Structure 1
Amino acid sequence: MISKLMIRIFGGFGVGGLLTLLVIVFLYDSTDEVSTRLIALNLFGSMLIGAYFSVSALLFEIDEWSMLKQTLVHYTASLIILFPVFTWLTGWIPLHPQSLLIGWLYFTGTYILNWFGWYSYFKQLERRMNQSLQKRR
């Protein structure tokens, strides 16, 4: 279990770091002057988010929990863990009530869309598997 957790953490760090690198490379403007501290904070924030989502996906492997419980725990943990990264660490969301509300709305909307996307994918996979089993009979 520990090795699986470490693989997920470092895999998430890698994905977060790679995405940050791609953004820097493709959005680079030679007129921009950005401090290395700002780049480091954004890189670290992306790496933490990558590690978090990699590890938190394990919540969906708890078979004793209903899908609703898995989703609510994941969503709540995501808010509690990620919002400090979005606000205090990286400054991606300013610490103003209106900005926090808009950030929460975007986060929640994105979370819902992502959840429905995965739900639809697994429902389609379930349907195909059942059809395949029906053909074997």
Structure 2
Amino acid sequence: MSKLIVRMFGGFGVGAVVTLIALVVLNDPEDTVSSHLIALNLLGSMLIGAYFSISALLFERDEWSMLKQTLFHYVTSLIVLFPVFTWLTGWVPLTPRSLAIGFVFFTITYILNWIGWFTYFKQMEKRMNESLQQRK
């Protein structure tokens, strides 16, 4: 349980830092934004950070295949994150076209991210195997 709490608060922190960086980088001195809007966006970023920190635990389930872990994570991500993207923050407007574009963008991003991590771990596996072969 403590691992879950540590991950959740770590995700909150990452989400808050990402929002702070976005506010600093995208700052327009002539633009005025309500504190309510900033708070909603901060909350959305923090929830997304917490979700991804916690949901990564799915990939530690050794009894599940990689395919089952990935599909469960993807579906859970859609169920959890789309309400944050739409209702809470308004990052994706609630129109059929916007939802479809958001879904496609999310899916493509998810696939590219998965390919990146898969490639990284395959390279790590290859290096570890080479290291073991050199020791023999």
State the TM-score bracket (shorter-chain normalisation): over 0.9
SS of residue paired to 2:93: coil
**Residue of structure 1 in register with 2:96 after alignment:** 97
Partner Cα distance (1:68, 1:92) in 2: 29
For structure 2, the residue ranges without an aligned partner over 5 or more in a row are: none
**Residue of structure 1 in register with 2:113 after alignment:** 114
Corresponding letter in the other structure for 2:41: N
Residue 128 of structure 1 pairs with residue 98 of structure 2: no
Partner Cα distance (2:61, 2:121) in 1: 16
Provide the identity percentage: 71
Residue 64 of structure 1 pairs with residue 63 of structure 2: yes
**Residue of structure 2 in register with 1:9 after alignment:** 8
Partner Cα distance (2:67, 2:21) in 1: 35
For structure 1, the residue ranges without an aligned partner over 5 or more in a row are: none
Q: Report the Cα offset of residue 69 of structure 1.
A: 0.2
Compute the TM-score of the two structures, normalised by the length of structure 2. Answer: 0.99
**Residue of structure 1 in register with 2:20 after alignment:** 21
Q: Report the Cα offset of residue 116 of structure 1.
A: 0.1
Query: Cα deviation per residue 1:50-87 (whole Å; 9 max; x = unaligned)?
Result: 00000000000000000000000000000000000000
Q: Report the Cα offset of residue 99 of structure 1.
A: 0.2
Q: Report the Cα offset of residue 26 of structure 1.
A: 1.2
Partner Cα distance (2:35, 2:97) in 1: 29
Residue 85 of structure 1 pairs with residue 114 of structure 2: no
Query: Cα deviation per residue 1:82-113 (whole Å; 9 max; x = unaligned)?
Result: 00000000000000000000000000000000
Partner Cα distance (2:114, 2:21) in 1: 25
SS of residue paired to 1:4: helix
Partner Cα distance (1:36, 1:64) in 2: 46
Partner Cα distance (2:105, 2:50) in 1: 21
Partner Cα distance (2:25, 2:66) in 1: 38
Q: What is the count of residue pairs matched by the alignment?
A: 136
Partner Cα distance (2:84, 2:25) in 1: 23
